[in-house]
Amino acid sequence: MLVTAAGGAVVGGVVGATASYAKTGKISGTAVLAGVAIGGAIGLTGGAASAYLATGSALASTGSMMASLGYLAKTLIKNSIYLRSAIVKW
With bands split at pLDDT 50, 70 and 90, how would you rate the model's confidence at 86? Answer: low
Q: Which domain holds residue 59?
A: 2-89
**Nearest partner of 56 among 72, 73, 79, judged by Cα:** 72
For the full predicted model, state whether its pTM sits above 0.75: no
Cα dihedral sign, 31-35-36-38: positive
What is the domain count for the chain?
Answer: 1
Model pLDDT for residues 27-83, shown as the tens digit of each residue? 999 999 999 998 888 888 877 777 777 667 666 666 666 666 666 666 667 766 656
